Amino acid sequence: MAVLIFRLNGVSDEEAQDIRNLLTDNALDSYETSAGRWGVSVAGLWLVNENDKARARELIDAYQLERQRYFEELKIEAPPETFSERFRQSPLNVIFYSVLAVTVLFLTLSPFIKFLSD
């Protein structure tokens, strides 16, 4: 009986391809299902042989641990940009998007504020 080994919802194409290659390289028979036209089905990678589940899970867990370490190293090397750094780099963009956000917020809440004042 087939068993779902890896869900593809919200997974990058790169990671999905790496998992496909991992299963193929280790001679684990698998197939893929898509989420369908409306995205209500299970998009995932399925193992044909249920007995391969433990081995496949170990391989996938090791891959994801390695991938997590890689991204943690990237964060250490290049920490995320702060608001003040971004403002120094491009103040007009920051001002424009801030005004845009405040405008959208005002337009969204103004009917409720008028309703409460009546």
Encoded tokens for 85: 């750094």
pLDDT at 57: 96
pLDDT at 74: 80
CATH 3.30.40 for the 3-77 domain, yes or no = no
| Percent of the chain surpassing pLDDT 70 | 97
pLDDT at 114: 74
Note whether 43 and 34 are within 8 A (CB): yes
* Average pLDDT value for the chain: 90
pLDDT at 80: 79
Domain ranges for the chain? 3-77, 83-117
pLDDT at 117: 67
From residue 55, alpha-carbon distances to 1, 2, 23, 37, 61 in Å are: 16, 15, 10, 32, 10
Residue closest to 44 by CA, chosen among 53, 34, 59: 34
Query: What is 46-108 written as a DSSP string?
Result: EES-GGGHHHHHHHHHHHHHHHHHHHHHHHHHSPPPPHHHHHHH-HHHHHHHHHHHHHHHHHH
- Tell me: pLDDT of 78 over 80: no
- What whole-number distance in Å separates Cα of residue 84 and Cα of residue 102? 19
Mean pLDDT of 67-82: 84
- Tell me: pLDDT of 77 over 80: no
Encoded tokens for 2: 């087939």
